[in-house]
Amino acid sequence: MTDSEKPKGIALEERETAGEKLFSPSAARNRDFIRDVFLTTMPNEGRILEIGGGTGEHGVHIAGAARGLVWHTGDPDPVSRASIAAWIDDAGLENLKGPHAIDVTAKNWSVEREAPFAGIVSINMIHIAPFEAAMGLFAGAGRLLEAGGSLFLYGPFSNKGVHSAPSNEAFDASLKSRDPRWGVRDIEHDIVPLAHKNAMALAELVEMPANNLSLVFRKTE
């Protein structure tokens, strides 16, 4: 892939490539931490749907460690889907499915026939997309999760209007300068209301390295 063909606007980092496979430096740094929290807070059996799978590395990493899961993954971006497909092929994991072309702002996610899901996961997506993506993610989780099912989010968050670190405040400003519709989301002001609207409640909040959080919501009905 030449530099001009590399996805722009999708990744905020320089990614190495090998064939169709993309390598995310941030995923290399955070994937063990995310996997470990996922394994202790999310179902370890049943169908999981990953939204905004990106390079595909998190899916391979977590599904490889939890063979009781059937891990469906997807991304709206074709270059990311090609990378996910290459990671799935190389991993040879039978419990990895997809990639599906899922845009959470669409009414239909193309995986409805696989529903209900025990869990839905979205890593580093809702702050690098318009707020409609967070709205669509929670609406879809409300629609496609089984009763008691879980939604796992990872990324930077503020709470009650306060950033958890100066670096997150600077990151928020840099996201907004790139696209004014992007930005670090606020747990109490932005996210919890979306959860309640879709019959979910915040069940777990885990502090992660680099001032990120893992949030787990459970469907209450």
Ligand X SMILES: C[S@@+](CC[C@H](N)C(=O)[O-])C[C@H]1O[C@@H](n2cnc3c(N)ncnc32)[C@H](O)[C@@H]1O
Residues that bind ligand X (CB under 6 A): 10-11, 24, 27, 51-55, 58, 75-77, 80, 102-105, 123-125, 128-129, 133
Nearer to ligand X by C-beta: 25 or 148? 25
Minimum distance, C-beta of residue 18 to ligand X, in the bound complex (Å): 16
Nearer to ligand X by C-beta: 76 or 156? 76
Nearer to ligand X by C-beta: 111 or 128? 128
Spell out the residues 6+ positions from residue 183 whose beta carbon is closer than 8 angstroms to its own: 127, 172, 175, 176
Minimum distance, C-beta of residue 189 to ligand X, in the bound complex (Å): 21
Q: Please identify the residue of the shown chain whose CB is closest to the bound ligand X.
A: 54
Nearest to 63 by CA among 108, 12, 121, 11: 121
Minimum distance, C-beta of residue 67 to ligand X, in the bound complex (Å): 21
Minimum distance, C-beta of residue 149 to ligand X, in the bound complex (Å): 19
